[in-house]
Amino acid sequence: MEKRRKVGNPLALAVLAWLMLEPMHPYELGRRLKETEQDRSINYNRGSLYMVVKQLAKAGFIAEQETVRDTQRPERTVYALTEEGRAELYDWLRELVAQPRQEYPHFGVALSLLSVLPPEETAGLLSARLATLTGQVGDIRARIAQAESEGVTWVFLVEEQYRVTVLDAECRFVSELIEELENPDYIRTWKEMFGSRT
């Protein structure tokens, strides 16, 4: 069963992981998240990052280590991971890896209400989605190939491999769904159920 976390934002998990490497201030954390493109998996902005850092400090998972003064920049507080933070990082990460979680993607909502739209229109919309997905798959494969050619170890590309695998599966699903929507039997049934209401 999923635990209730003191700080449940996935961004907190990334902050804990980065602080495991070395103490740093939030600005540096944000720079590294961008640099490593973790912002493709974790939705955040500068304000949310600072808020999560405050929450982690309040929970005792990180602690102020020092305040750095620089004449050209405002003072910055450097944070370090605490033992409680290290334990939380490992526990939370183990849970996420081992236990599937019920997620509520927007596409799932659309699919649950798909019968409202006329089959021909839906097939057209799904064809547009398929074209976008195919482009995304190509872009991700190119990024992976580029990273591999630069010697990036596979474990640092695993989230992109996962992303492309999920998109490939969605492409197959959408292609099959388009075929079903174009089936004359479905079109006839849809017209009987909804045709007079559109």
Q: How far apart are alpha carbons 179 and 128 in whole angstroms? A: 14
Q: Is the pLDDT of residue 198 over 60?
A: no
Of 8-17, 21-30, 111-120, 187-196, give the lowest mean pLDDT range. Answer: 187-196
Residue with the larger pLDDT of the pair 195 and 31: 31
pLDDT at position 47: 87
Domains in the chain: boundaries = 10-98, 106-197
8 Å CB contact between 8 and 95:
no
pLDDT at position 36: 85
pLDDT at position 181: 95
pLDDT interval class at 39 (50, 70, 90): confident
Mean pLDDT (whole number) for 46-67? 93
Mean pLDDT (whole number) for 5-31? 93
CATH code for the structural domain at 10-98: 1.10.10.10
pLDDT at position 38: 84
8 Å CB contact between 171 and 138:
no
DSSP string, 50-115: HHHHHHHHHHTSEEEEEEEEETTEEEEEEEEE-HHHHHHHHHHHHHHHHS------HHHHHHHTGG
Q: Is the pLDDT of residue 169 over 70?
A: yes
Residue with the larger pLDDT of the pair 29 and 3: 29
pLDDT at position 197: 62
- Tell me the per-residue pLDDT of 62-115, one tens digit each, with 9 for 90 and over: 999 888 776 676 778 999 999 999 999 999 999 999 998 888 889 999 999 999
